[in-house]
Amino acid sequence: MTMSANPDRVIVVGAGHIGIACAHYLRQDGYDVTVIDQGDIGGACSYANCGFLVPSHVLPLTSPESLLNGFKSLVQPRAAFRVKLQLRPALYRWMLEFGRRCSRRQMISAGKVLHTILDLSIAEYRHLLSRPEMECEWQDSGLLFVFRSAAALQKFAATDSFLAEEFDVAASLIPGSDLQDLDPAFREGLAGAYRYEDDGYVRPDKLNTSWVKWLSAQDVTFIDHCRLKTVQKKNGTITSLLTSQGQMKADRYVFATGAWSSRLAADLECDIPVEPGKGYSVTMSKPAVMPRYPMLFPEAHIGVTPFEDSYRIASMMEFAGFDETIPSFRIEQLQDSARPYLKNPTGPAIEDTWYGWRPMTWDSLPIIGRVPRLSNALLATGHNMLGLTLAPVTGKAIADLVAERPADIPLDALSPARFS
Ligand SMILES: Cc1cc2nc3c(=O)[nH]c(=O)nc-3n(C[C@H](O)[C@H](O)[C@H](O)COP(=O)(O)OP(=O)(O)OC[C@H]3O[C@@H](n4cnc5c(N)ncnc54)[C@H](O)[C@@H]3O)c2cc1C
């Protein structure tokens, strides 16, 4: 496949964390970049997630434990991890392929790829977030994994040792007796916590807003409420996009369409097995005693993020198709789950309730690379639970591919061609 000498126009479809990051690195290379989105810019899964930047999260979802939880969820409709039975062959194929990969061997091999790209992305973020334009409440605070029961803490000790030995990802153990000194928001009697020092967090909506503002000032065009309808092609090349705002032409096309990506499979002539994995968040005004640190409560499967003016609890993984509801029991569940850990688990007022569809792949790895049968098309999707963290490394890899520079990520493991 050859690319023409000096392409100057690129259209990025999808303005989540991934599309915005692609626009950034493409613009840095001098391309004329337009980003379109069917909804608000940064308004889908990249809007109200936990905001964690987590190089520690090298372990993929494809693990023996996930398989067990998946089976349990079939009989527990309120489980945090839930599969809603549907008459959709694509979902069953996805589940089957996912299940096949839930082995220790696959967990380690996917983990190695994730480790490489997570570290590269965090290195890029440190550079990017030090720019004054990026006003997004970035805190290089570390992330706490907090445990209520001694048994759960002890079980996690094995995971922590595994992470240290296999991936060189190390944490410090904080005994339960020291937790309140570290963060007065904790209740008494917790078993302890592990602190992953290299993790941090941002406010995701502010990251999008400030990044888009910065890119707009550099002449990147963002067009909201512009839906890609079909792709027009000739001789293995995209000639234009038909959108809800008319025909659009460029030299290169990047598809960063998140959970919707499988809908482009026919247009792009390749399999894109991405399923929406729905999560929820509730954002509240600041509680009387606000946590100082971002934290995960693995026994309850929730994450808590203390922003400057508000406070968020987020979680859940539902395979329920493109279900747009926010059941009140899910929001209550989020708030209740924080109660055993925090003195003030809820803020005085709910500011926002939200859902997002994570773009889930069956091998837990993102899809980054050239579309096999179309010479001027690239895919940047399938970032599962890590799209915020992996945005810079993805954008940089896409720019490298467009410029035909060697990329510093394991492209074969991430290529769209792995599904054909
Ligand atoms: C509860 C929750 C917590 C999370 N916490 C974290 C976290 O702490 N850290 C982390 O790294 N990740 C986290 N994630 C995951 C992260 O949010 C996602 O991986 C990430 O947002 C995916 O980004 P994206 O740009 O691929 O998708 P999106 O943000 O969904 O963007 C895709 C865009 O494509 C547009 N689009 C789709 N089809 C078309 C079309 N035909 N025409 C035009 N536009 C189109 C959509 O409108 C959308 O705006 C969390 C997710 C959830 C749900």
Contact 169, 115 (CB under 8 A): yes
What pLDDT does residue 3 have?
Answer: 43
Q: Is the CB of 52 under 6 A from ligand 1?
A: yes
Percent of the chain with pLDDT over 70: 96
Please check the confidence at residue 137 and state whether its pLDDT lies above 70: yes
Q: Which residues contact 264 (CB under 8 A, 6 or more apart)?
A: 228, 231, 255, 257, 272
* Sole residue written with tokens 């602190």: 195
What pLDDT does residue 4 have?
Answer: 46
Q: Which residue has the CA at smallest separation from atom 33 of ligand 1?
A: 14
Q: Which atom of ligand 1 is nearest to the CA of 52?
A: 8
For a mutational test of ligand 1's pocket, the pick from 49, 253, 361, 381, i.e. the residue with the most ligand atoms closer than 8 A to its C-beta, is 49
- CA-based nearest residue to 292, from 390, 125, 174: 174
What pLDDT does residue 1 have?
Answer: 34
Q: Which residues contact 376 (CB under 8 A, 6 or more apart)?
A: 3, 7, 237, 238, 251, 252, 253
What pLDDT does residue 84 have?
Answer: 84
How close is the Cα of 275 to the center of ligand 1, in Å? 12
Query: Alpha-carbon distance 61 to 384, whole Å?
Result: 9
Q: What is the mean pLDDT of the chain?
A: 95
What pLDDT does residue 87 have?
Answer: 85
- CA-based nearest residue to 393, from 31, 24, 138, 51: 24
Residue 38 vs residues 223, 245, 258, 367: alpha-carbon distances, Å: 9, 10, 12, 21
For a mutational test of ligand 1's pocket, the pick from 121, 144, 238, 257, i.e. the residue with the most ligand atoms closer than 8 A to its C-beta, is 257
Q: Is the CB of 279 under 6 A from ligand 1?
A: yes
Q: Which residue has the CA at smallest separation from atom 37 of ligand 1?
A: 257
What pLDDT does residue 71 have?
Answer: 67
What pLDDT does residue 262 have?
Answer: 98
Q: Is the CB of 193 under 6 A from ligand 1?
A: no
Q: Is the CB of 207 under 6 A from ligand 1?
A: no
Please check the confidence at residue 76 and state whether its pLDDT lies above 80: no
Q: Is the CB of 66 under 6 A from ligand 1?
A: no
What phi and psi, each to the nearest 5 degrees, are found at residue 350?
-85, 125
What pLDDT does residue 83 have?
Answer: 85
Q: Is the CB of 61 under 6 A from ligand 1?
A: no
Query: Alpha-carbon distance 308 to 166, whole Å?
Result: 36
Lowest mean pLDDT among 4-13, 82-91, 336-345, 399-408: 4-13
How close is the Cα of 204 to the center of ligand 1, in Å? 11
Q: Which residue has the CA at smallest separation from atom 1 of ligand 1?
A: 279
Query: Alpha-carbon distance 394 to 83, whole Å?
Result: 29
Q: Is the CB of 199 under 6 A from ligand 1?
A: no
Percent of the chain with pLDDT over 90: 91
- Give the number of other Cβ atoms within 10 Å of residue 92's Cβ: 12
How close is the Cα of 48 to the center of ligand 1, in Å? 10
Q: Is the CB of 379 under 6 A from ligand 1?
A: no
Interaxial angle between packed helices 17-28 and 204-217, expressed in degrees from 0 to 180 and rounded to the nearest 10: 30
Q: Which residue has the CA at smallest separation from atom 18 of ligand 1?
A: 387
Q: How many CA atoms lie within 13 A of 161 on its CB side?
A: 6
Q: Is the CB of 382 under 6 A from ligand 1?
A: no
Query: Alpha-carbon distance 242 to 244, whole Å?
Result: 7
What pLDDT does residue 7 have?
Answer: 54
pLDDT digits (tens, 9 = 90+) for 202-229: 999 999 999 999 999 999 999 999 999 9
What pLDDT does residue 31 have?
Answer: 97
How close is the Cα of 19 to the center of ligand 1, in Å? 9
pLDDT digits (tens, 9 = 90+) for 409-420: 999 999 999 998
pLDDT tier at 68, thresholds 50, 70, 90: confident
Contact 200, 140 (CB under 8 A): yes
Contact 12, 37 (CB under 8 A): no
> What is the rounded average pLDDT of the residues 60-70?
79
Burial group, residue 181, by CB count within 10 angstroms (0-12, 13-18, 19+):
exposed
Query: Alpha-carbon distance 314 to 311, whole Å?
Result: 10
pLDDT tier at 2, thresholds 50, 70, 90: very low
How close is the Cα of 181 to the center of ligand 1, in Å? 36
Please check the confidence at residue 69 and state whether its pLDDT lies above 90: no
Mapping DSSP onto H, E and C, the string for the chain reads CCCCCCCCEEEEECCCHHHHHHHHHHHHCCCEEEEECCCCCCCCCCCCCCCEECCCCCCCCCCHHHHHHHHHHCCCCCCCEEECCCCCHHHHHHHHHHHHCCCHHHHHHHHHHHHHHHHHHHHHHHHHHCCCCCCCCCECCCEEEEECCHHHHHHHHHHHHHHHHHHCCCCEEEEHHHHHHHCCCECCCCCEEEEECCCEECCHHHHHHHHHHHHHHCCCEEECCCCEEEEEEECCEEEEEEECCEEECCCEEEECCHHHHHHHHHHHCCCCCEEEEEEEEEEEECCCCCCCCCEEECCCCEEEEECCCEEEEEEEEEECCCCCCCCHHHHHHHHHHHCCCECCCCCCCEEEEEEEEEEEECCCCCEEEECCCCCCEEEEECCCCCCCCCHHHHHHHHHHHHCCCCCCCCHHHHCHHHHC
Q: Is the CB of 107 under 6 A from ligand 1?
A: no
Q: Which residue has the CA at smallest separation from atom 12 of ligand 1?
A: 386
Q: Is the CB of 236 under 6 A from ligand 1?
A: no
What pLDDT does residue 420 have?
Answer: 85
What pLDDT does residue 82 have?
Answer: 84
pLDDT digits (tens, 9 = 90+) for 140-193: 999 999 999 999 999 999 999 999 999 999 999 999 999 999 999 999 999 999
pLDDT digits (tens, 9 = 90+) for 245-301: 999 999 999 999 999 999 999 999 999 999 999 999 999 999 999 999 999 999 999
Strand partners for 303: 296, 314
How close is the Cα of 2 to the center of ligand 1, in Å? 31
What pLDDT does residue 66 have?
Answer: 74
Query: Alpha-carbon distance 120 to 409, whole Å?
Result: 8
Q: Which residue has the CA at smallest separation from atom 3 of ligand 1?
A: 49
pLDDT tier at 70, thresholds 50, 70, 90: low
> What is the rounded average pLDDT of the residues 307-319?
96
Q: Which atom of ligand 1 is nearest to the CA of 316?
A: 1
